Amino acid sequence: MLGIDAAWTATRPSGVALAVRQAGRWTLRTVAPSYDHFLALAEGARLTTRPAGSLPDAAALLAAAARIAGEAVALVAIDMPLAHAPIVTRRPSDNAIARAFGAWHCATHSPSADRPGALSDTLRAGFAAAGYPLRTGDASAGGLIEVYPHPALVRLAGGTRRLPYKAGNSAKYWPGEPLAVRRGRLHAEWRRIAALLATRFDGLADQLPPLGDHPAGVAAKAHEDMLDAIVCAWVGVTALEGEADAFGDDGSAIWVPRALSGTGVDAAG
């Protein structure tokens, strides 16, 4: 299972996570803060440079994942607008998510012809050429799916509202609080998310780099991107195992895990 928190432009890094199934359980094999870092891991190296943006190479990412996992990837789950036709505005899938999860403050951002634009088309076409077509109704046979971490995390946490974990929004989450207080609360939320994901993936604590005492700037964003990539991989697992629903139509669909047993959480509306 390959999870990608794909940036909408080639200038920003994209987190990548790889999970494998062993003896009926899913294990996080590796996670990286950028495409280049992930490709380096497949070569037995570990980059120490700051994560940078780059154009995604579907074939190279799949080959690297297979080298690390020892087998071909079954499904690729990407947090980026994807569709069978070029995206120029909001899609039925975006509107379906807004209807189902808007009360949780989990509506999607509006895609356009510029963002992600051609980057989305190139990504979808690259994976299709490698044998991973976009799936909008049944993901059990593998392929490529679009996912969205925000409603997935609400389901995982058993809550009813979008989790406050985006570094760029800390002033909105906790207005008027000093920066040090906001960072402390943000990092506590990241630790909480990691603990929740560890209930779904063995080995997470071994693969996700420790948060550190006071991460900020590039280091903080890299940690957030890796968490999102792991969430993408988890949503992919649920879709592959028939435990997620596709919101949209034949042209595009966003996959969200169903309510976990015992949480009592369902979609709003």
**Which tens digits make up the pLDDT trace of 44-78?**
998 888 999 999 999 999 999 999 999 999 999 99
Phi, psi for residue 219 in degrees, rounded to 5: -65, -40
Report the chain's mean pLDDT, rounded to a whole number: 93
Three-state DSSP state, 241: coil
- What's the pTM? 0.94
Mean pLDDT over 98-109 rounds to 94
Residue 220 is predicted with a pLDDT of 87
Mean pLDDT over 131-155 rounds to 97
Contact 249, 36 (CB under 8 A): no
Residue 213 is predicted with a pLDDT of 60
Give the strand order in the sheet containing 75-78.
25-32, 15-22, 2-5, 75-78, 143-147, 253-257, 244-248
Upper half-sphere CA count for residue 102 (Cβ side, 13 Å): 9
Q: CB within 8 A of 245, min separation 6: which ones?
A: 255, 256, 258
What tens digit of pLDDT does each residue of 195-231 get? 999 999 999 999 998 876 656 688 889 999 999 999 9
pLDDT category of residue 264 using cuts at 50, 70 and 90 = very low
- Extract the tokens encoding 193: 């998310």
Residue 269 is predicted with a pLDDT of 34
